[in-house]
Amino acid sequence: MRHFISMGIFFLVPFAGLAIGAWIFVCPPVLDAETPGPREVKIRVKETSLVQGPQILLGEVAQIQAGPFLKEILQTMELGNAPKPGKIKQLNKPHLDALIHSQPGMPENVSIEIPENIYVKRDSQQIQQQKVQEQVERFLSDYFRDKEYELEQLLVRDLGLYPQGNVDLSGISSSRIDKNGNLSLFMDILIDGNREDRIRISGKVAVYEDILCAKRNLAKGEQLLGTDVYSVRKNIFSLREEGIRTIREIENKRLKTGIKKNDYISISDLQEIPLIRKGDVITLVARSNRLLIATSGISQEDGYADQLIRVENIRSGKIVRGLVKEKSTVEVIH
């Protein structure tokens, strides 16, 4: 029996050896991939590179040959502050070499190639003035609501180069539009949600409204009628004084000064026509409890609606004070 088993083993060993050899021959990559051992790490720094963010990353300035895990770590290794957008920075070779070697977990057999001169430029973008103008137009649309306006001039100061990313123009502050239509405001520039700059914007705005103008030469003291005026669309910021807009505003008004044909009519050009003139004989009314006493009087001055004036009582000769209620009627104030 023992002799039989020994003969079986002796017979099978050659076949087992042939099977293992054939398996190794067919599947050598599997063994190599699963066999632990050192892998060569190579880092080749480029002479010129373009970086995106505020920090210079090794993966942006160098070609890295390493295992997937180590390569991912090395690519995100920070080498220092990046230059401002659009600017160029030169890196120091010895410092860069020491910085890479000091990285935790860096293999001893790492191969590093660094050129004598290393230049890094920060990627950038320009913001077109048209984009700024569109934002200003939206602001003016809200500011003037339903009024007709025009942005005549726009000047944007300190609009430079900015990092790459999504641009958002917002945060308009310290806005001001003076009586001459001069515009002044500040606007924030956000890149990917981060405020990168605040720019100053100035300009000139026109706002158009209907203003009444003289159809003919009008004399001082003349009472204005609807037939004496016509309406013209004018930039209100170009007017020296506030203009009259409606016929209703000139009712019962007379001119304090003469106005030439086609000149606009301003609020300061008008004065009310008195209901009572100095020297007019008027009705003087006095109320006492439920009694109403009326007599005649002589106005001592011009009187306007609901204004106090002095009146001489014709019967007694006394001077009294009363409120102008309507044409030729004054109510005595006790």
Residue 84: name the closest of 125, 45, 117, 116 by CA: 125
User: In this structure, what CATH number is given to the domain that contains residue 197?
Assistant: 3.90.1210.10
- Cα separation, 333 vs 310, in Å, equals 11
Give the three-state DSSP class for 4: helix
Q: Are residues 269 and 134 in the same domain?
A: yes
**pLDDT digit of tens for each residue in the chain (334 aa)?**
444 334 443 333 344 343 334 333 334 433 333 333 456 889 999 999 999 999 999 999 999 998 898 899 899 999 999 999 999 999 999 999 998 888 877 788 889 999 999 999 999 999 999 999 999 999 999 999 889 999 999 999 878 899 999 999 987 888 999 999 999 999 999 999 999 999 999 999 999 999 999 999 999 999 999 999 999 999 999 999 999 999 999 988 999 999 999 999 999 999 988 889 999 999 999 887 778 889 999 999 999 888 999 999 999 999 999 999 888 899 998 6
Range of the structural domain that residue 328 is part of: 281-332
Task: Provide the number of structural domains found in the chain.
Answer: 3
Q: Are residues 95 and 137 in the same domain?
A: no
- Cα separation, 43 vs 229, in Å, equals 86
Q: Confirm whether 266 is domain-assigned.
A: yes
Q: Confirm whether 209 is domain-assigned.
A: yes
Q: What is the DSSP string of 144-163?
A: HTTSEEEEEEEEEES--EE-
Rounded CA Rg of the chain: 47
| DSSP 8-state symbol, 301 | S
CA angle, residues 191, 199, 195, in degrees to nearest 5: 25
Phi, psi of 133 (to 5 degrees): -60, -40
- pTM here is 0.65
* Length of the chain measured in residues: 334
Give the three-state DSSP class for 5: helix
Q: Are residues 140 and 220 in the same domain?
A: yes
Q: Are residues 233 and 172 in the same domain?
A: yes
